[in-house]
A = this chain, B = another copy of it.
Amino acid sequence: MIYIIVGLGGTIGAILRYLVGNIFKKFTEKHGIVTFFINITGSFLIGYFSTRQIPEEFRYFLIAGLLGGFTTYSTFMSDIVKYLRERKHFEAFVYMFFSIFLGIIAAGLGIALANGIWKA
């Protein structure tokens, strides 16, 4: 049963990722911008929802399924290698640095928000 719930979340996550990618393509052809946006947003949401008390099944659907499927590591790596092959070492570094740096901050902010720190 959990496998079906995770799979269903993964379906929606992957379709959402493809949809967001198509919307971004209208504005920029630059590698990585869309993956960056998706990964940062997903990191914030996983921080928030993994901290909030939510029903067990919904947790599998949302965290292991949807957010796991929405964000992607393989495209992140593939984008960096594309920059490196084009000898755009600076762009590769900036993309990598900000993805990690802002990803950690986004996940941390999600946790802080779920813990009600901002309400204090």
Chain A residues engaging chain B, CB cutoff 8 angstroms:
2-3, 6-15, 17-19, 21, 38-39, 42-43, 45-47, 50, 63-65, 67-78, 80-81, 84-85, 96, 99-100, 103-104, 106-108, 111
In-complex Cβ contact of A74 among B12, B68, B74, B111 (8 A): B68
Measured between beta carbons, the chain B residues less than 8 angstroms from A7 are: 11-12, 14-15
Q: Secondary structure of the A side of the interface?
A: helix
**Smallest CB gap from A60: residue in B:** B18
Can you list 27 residue pairs at the A/B interface with Cβ under 8 Å?
Answer: A3-B15, A6-B14, A6-B15, A6-B18, A7-B12, A8-B11, A9-B14, A10-B11, A11-B14, A14-B65, A14-B69, A17-B68, A38-B73, A39-B73, A46-B77, A63-B74, A69-B69, A70-B74, A72-B72, A73-B73, A73-B99, A74-B107, A77-B104, A77-B106, A77-B107, A81-B104, A84-B108
